[in-house]
Amino acid sequence: MIDTTKAPASEHYKKLAIEPIELIKALKLDFMAGSFVKYLVRYQYKGSPKTDLEKAKFYLSEIKREKYSLLNDQTAWYLVFFFAAANRMDEIETNCLLNALDGFRQSAKEGLDELIARYNEPA
């Protein structure tokens, strides 16, 4: 029997140990922060990596400025670390995720720029 309470995972999410939606729900992230997480996590698995990283950068810029940190306690930090480790995110990806959610948006932007540079065409 098909479980109709949960949409089937798309192919690009099947490559992940934990889908972004699980972290988004656990941290109760809003649309902008949730979209940032989604694009940062899936960029290597769907379509153009550079395009998804550019989308992550857009949503990072749209995260509400009045919210300093979206990680409200130590448990939230542990969830993000566990999520990153389970999905084999590298150091730059993990720091980008943590910085964005903990209010250090400029550091997260710099991390995204570094990831995007990996996909820039040589001149």
Mean pLDDT of 36-55: 94
Residue ranges of alpha helices (H) inside the chain are 11-14, 20-27, 31-42, 49-62, 74-86, 91-101, 105-117
Residue 20, pLDDT above cutoff 90: yes
- AA letter at 121: E
Which residue do the tokens 């566990």 mark?
82
Predicted confidence (pLDDT) per residue in 86-107, tens digit: 999 999 999 999 999 988 889 9
Q: So what's the pLDDT on residue 1?
A: 44
Residue ranges of alpha helices (H) inside 5-48 are 11-14, 20-27, 31-42
Q: So what's the pLDDT on residue 63?
A: 86
What is the C-alpha to C-alpha distance for residues 116 and 111, in angstroms, rounded to an integer? 9
What is the C-alpha to C-alpha distance for residues 74 and 115, in angstroms, rounded to an integer? 27
Mean pLDDT of 61-76: 79
